[in-house]
Structure 1
Amino acid sequence: MSSNNASGKVVSVDEQALKQADEAEVDADGFEVVEETPKLRATVEQETQAKVDANHPDGIKETNKERIQGATLEQEERIRAREAELERISVRAEVSRQDGRAKRARDIAAERSKERRRGFQKRAASVDPMADPERPDPREELSQDELASVNEQAKRLSEKLDGWTRAAISRRLAERVVEGASLMSAVVGVHEELQTAPGQVIPIGKLEGVNRKEVSISGRVTQLWDADSPAIQQVRLIEDESGQTKVTSWVASNQPQMEEGERVCIRGAAKNWYNGRVSVALTGWSTVHFPERGRWWE
């Protein structure tokens, strides 16, 4: 009777031990050589956990320049690049927030300034209706011929008045014409008004009619007087084609000396009255300019 069971050679435990002993490396004395540093291999679970830790967001914080445990060089490069990109995004976001706050602050300040200016103009409109910011441009109320004449006179005045645009002058003229003044009367009134406005160099003959403390004049030094006080630096007479006035400078003001016959432009002088006559004095805030000084070619 045949059997389907395959028979094999049965090896005992002792034989297996002898076989392993024969295969083991021995030294010169016949003793088995044992490795002092055994080879360590990670288990499947340890390798899996290392990959998870290396790719987890919490696992890439504060790595600095040290090697990342459980990551290959390629993985480290990707992690470092991700860290650098996150840092750049954070910096851009912070700068954007700061720029946004600064822009919002400027917008708020500009809007509040605009509201204050409109509030002031509204209060001024209670005295002068022309100062109302909501009042339409008076030039829109003129006929075509009237507007053409106003613009022509505004062009002529702009050539005589420094610091005023033709558009500003034409609006002032239109306001007076709308109020009922003739064009010639409006031209004379606007010219006097703008000629003596703050910041303008005023004709000396117009000083008496200026209702403010600080003025600017220009003219030629025609006479020098001796000072009657040690506190006074210099006293001189300055005149232009419209009139003349006395100008005093004090030692404490520390202003430059003026020579007789030279032309001078004074800005920010203090207007005074003495014995019923108007005069000006130079202060520490005044500026003095000599247009002809240093022109050696003349």
Structure 2
Amino acid sequence: MSSKQTIDQRVSVDEQAIECDEAEQYEVVEETPELQPSVAQTIQGKVDTNHPDGVGRGLTLAAEERLVAREMEITRTRERWDRAQDSEREAQCRRVAVEGSQERRCAFQERAASVDPWCDPERGDPREELAQEQLAAVNKQAMRLTTKIDEWSRAAISRRLAERVVDGTSVMSAVVGVYEELRTAPGQVISIADVQDVNRKEVSIEGQVTQLWTPGSPKIQQVGLIEDDSGRIKFTVWRASQKTMVEEGERVQLRSVATNWYEGRVSVAVTGWSDIHSLERGRWWE
């Protein structure tokens, strides 16, 4: 009995020694989970760090200095110290552009004064040289011409009339001459009958498309007749102009069309510099 118990005790002691040796070989580590930011937190952190207003919101000192320096550089670029005056760059550029435009206009008017003395920029307003009765008559006729010529103001018409009256023309003769001059001026829509009397290469007309026929060349997009109360004229729309197609019976306005003469007849052509405006089609946003 005693021998058996002794063997059991030895075995148990040996097992305990083995367990102690294994415990010493393997270090026991306390399992603590590592906390990591989520994807949303990582994105928000980058946004906060790189935000222009992020000074004091997690930026390092070097990053804060770079951000402040960037804002100062932007301010210096927009505003500069010019002749001891703090002026905005855009405003200074506008002033320089306006001054340059005025100088070029004065130089052009001085050259034009050799042909028309009234173009001289140093010459005053001709209405100041008129008597009171003449000025009243000029203003009255200018008001009447304004209703016939839409694109000219009353002040511009009265100045033209005053120039002719000062040069010795009667008021009624000045009215007729100014009306004929402004009625066929560049950019003014003229009647079709006056196209042949205009001495320039481009005109603007308005009327109704009365007829269209098949073009005889692949370079021509459309060809037909346009008519108003004064007459009718042939028009051609070149395919290279890439303009809108017109229809028979449609009222259109052809602006800056080129004039052509063939066998004693005048016609107009729509080029890339021309415009076609339909007077009957509504605007697409309405």
**TM-score relative to the length of structure 2:** 0.68
1:191 matched to which residue of 2? 179
Matching residue's letter, 1:144: Q
Could you tell me how far 1:173 is from its partner in structure 2?
0.6
Check conservation: 2:208, 2:252, Cα contact below 8 A.
yes
Provide the rounded CA distance (Å) in 1 between the counterparts of 2:255 and 2:159: 28
2:118 matched to which residue of 1? 130
Q: Does 1:96 align with 2:84?
A: no
- Which deviates further from its counterpart, 222-231 or 164-173? 222-231
Could you tell me how far 1:178 is from its partner in structure 2?
0.9
Q: Which runs of 5+ in 1 are unaligned?
A: 1-63, 67-79
Provide the rounded CA distance (Å) in 1 between the counterparts of 2:273 and 2:73: 51
Residue in structure 2 matching 1:221, options 204, 209, 222: 209
**TM-score relative to the length of structure 1:** 0.65
Matching residue's letter, 2:220: I
Matching residue's letter, 1:248: T
Q: Deviations over 1:164-203 (max 9, x none)?
A: 1100100001101111111111111111111111211121
Provide the rounded CA distance (Å) in 1 between the counterparts of 2:152 and 2:133: 24
Q: Which runs of 5+ in 2 are unaligned?
A: 1-59, 82-86
1:280 matched to which residue of 2? 268
Q: 1:94 to 1:264 in 2, by over 3 A?
A: closer
Q: Percent identity?
A: 60
2:188 matched to which residue of 1? 200
Q: Deviations over 1:208-237 (max 9, x none)?
A: 222222221101122223322232222211
- Which deviates further from its counterpart, 174-183 or 98-107? 98-107
Provide the rounded CA distance (Å) in 1 between the counterparts of 2:69 and 2:216: 79
Residue in structure 2 matching 1:108, options 92, 96, 111: 96
Residue in structure 2 matching 1:155, options 120, 127, 143: 143
Could you tell me how far 1:112 is from its partner in structure 2?
1.9
Residue in structure 2 matching 1:258, options 221, 246, 253: 246
Larger radius of gyration: 1
Count of residue correspondences: 219
Q: 1:153 to 1:94 in 2, by over 3 A?
A: same
Provide the rounded CA distance (Å) in 1 between the counterparts of 2:69 and 2:248: 75
Q: 1:267 to 1:87 in 2, by over 3 A?
A: closer
